[in-house]
Amino acid sequence: MFKHLQKWCVTHFLGHSQRRARLVSKDGRCNIEFGNVEAQSRLIFFVDIWTTVLDLKWRYKMTIFITVFLGSWFLFGLLWYAVAYIHKDLPEFHPSANHTPCVEHINGLTSAFLFSLETQVTIGYGFRCVTEQCGTAIFLLIFQSILGVIINSFMCGAILAKISRPKKRAKTITFSKNAVISKRGGKLCLLIRVANLRKSLLIGSHIYGKLLKTTITPEGETIILDQININFVVDAGNENLFFISPLTIYHVIDHTSPFFHMAAETLPQQDFELVVFLDGTVESTSATCQVRTSYVPEEVLWGYRFAPIVSKTKEGKYRVDFHNFSKTVEVETPHCAMCLYNEKDAQARMKRGYDNPSFVLSEVSETDDTKM
């Protein structure tokens, strides 16, 4: 009992302290920050204000949304109040009975603010209205109406664009928790399972990977996050996947693979991060999206394969059981790719004949020991 508790504590607390840093989290977010960016470069974000607003978090976006509308209403409320003050339409000036104000029924700053709100939002209660007495008031009405349309179009368009971003569609694409290494088709492969949780398809899907690791060049230069291409395929290829059911993608560990010189014993000591990408076009909106996830050496299981997930019911329907989506089954697997290829070469040599260069045929003279 005490040993199990001690093992759990060591695994739980020590494992968290020694957890590897990731560039890409399991849900696809990039763990990177930019430091010492020049002030001139920061101004570029305001030049591309549309993308900047779209990338903002919802709490900041809604704060800007409310601030822009309230600020514009209050600013124009001050201007309407200034027009009424200059034209002496306010009650404190005691206008005469035949006095025609620029705006009817503006009695103070509060009523000016209400008139500004009604004008920009086009509520039109009919109680306060502009008269033909002041050209300044007519010009201000036109200017506020045009600016109000621009603000409405920009802010409402930004919110609609953020809601409909294909980034949310990527949330319904899920990868298996672990990657596995086992034999497939007589070859040693690294396998990952991916599933589409929606019935709508991703059109023109393409899967590929990047292996991130620190390398040292022959010149002595240390390259952090050096990227190596990892090709993933399915049985029908890696282009235009028919993504209607969960797929098992695999990478063949051959002589060109960076996993070729790794073994089951040395894999946990390796320092790398495998980032897997899935690009596709959303069928409903025709927008492109990208799904990302990553695997560190502790999440790559050597000698396992994924449990079956698709079955056929008695009614003739195909059923996907996501309970077994990340479940793995231990199978017999060579402990390194080099061993598998050496075994294949040995079996191939056994089927062929080879001359032994060290073999020497010595002639033996025959003697007749029989005497007549």
* Calpha distance 244→198 (Å, rounded): 9
* Calpha distance 138→53 (Å, rounded): 33
CATH entry 3.40.1030.10 includes domain 169-351: no
Pick the residue with more confidence: 231 or 13? 231
Cα end-to-end span (Å), the chain: 93
**pLDDT value of residue 235:** 66
pLDDT digits (tens, 9 = 90+) for 26-36: 888 888 777 77
Q: How confident is the model at residue 144 (pLDDT cuts 50, 70, 90)?
A: very high
Q: Which of 9, 13, 152 is nearest to 73 (CA)?
A: 152
The tokens for 341 are 């290829």
Global pTM?
A: 0.69
pLDDT digits (tens, 9 = 90+) for 301-342: 999 999 988 888 888 888 888 888 889 999 988 888 777 766
What is the identity of the amino acid at 64? I
Q: How confident is the model at residue 369 (pLDDT cuts 50, 70, 90)?
A: low
- What CATH class is the domain 56-164? mainly alpha
Strand partners, 190: 181, 251
Q: What is the CA radius of gyration of the chain?
A: 36
Q: Enumerate the CATH 1.10.287.70 domain ranges in the chain, comma separated.
A: 56-164
* Calpha distance 366→372 (Å, rounded): 17
Sign of CA dihedral 88, 94, 100, 101: positive
Question: Would the pLDDT of 288 be above 60?
Answer: yes
Q: Enumerate the CATH 2.60.40.1400 domain ranges in the chain, comma separated.
A: 169-351
Distances (CA, A) of 277 to 17, 132, 147, 236, 256: 28, 64, 43, 18, 20
**pLDDT value of residue 345:** 57
Q: How confident is the model at residue 13 (pLDDT cuts 50, 70, 90)?
A: very low
For residues 213-219, average pLDDT? 85
pLDDT digits (tens, 9 = 90+) for 145-180: 999 999 999 998 988 888 877 777 778 888 999 999
The tokens for 5 are 């508790």
For residues 246-264, average pLDDT? 89
Q: Which of 161, 193, 197, 364 is nearest to 276 (CA)?
A: 193
pLDDT digits (tens, 9 = 90+) for 176-193: 999 999 988 888 999 999
- Give the angle 260-305-265 at the CA atoms, nearest 5°: 45
Q: Is 60 exposed, middle or buried (0-12, 13-18, 19+ CB in 10 A)?
A: exposed
**pLDDT value of residue 289:** 86
Please report, rounded to a whole number, the percentage of residues in the chain having pLDDT higher than 70.
Answer: 83
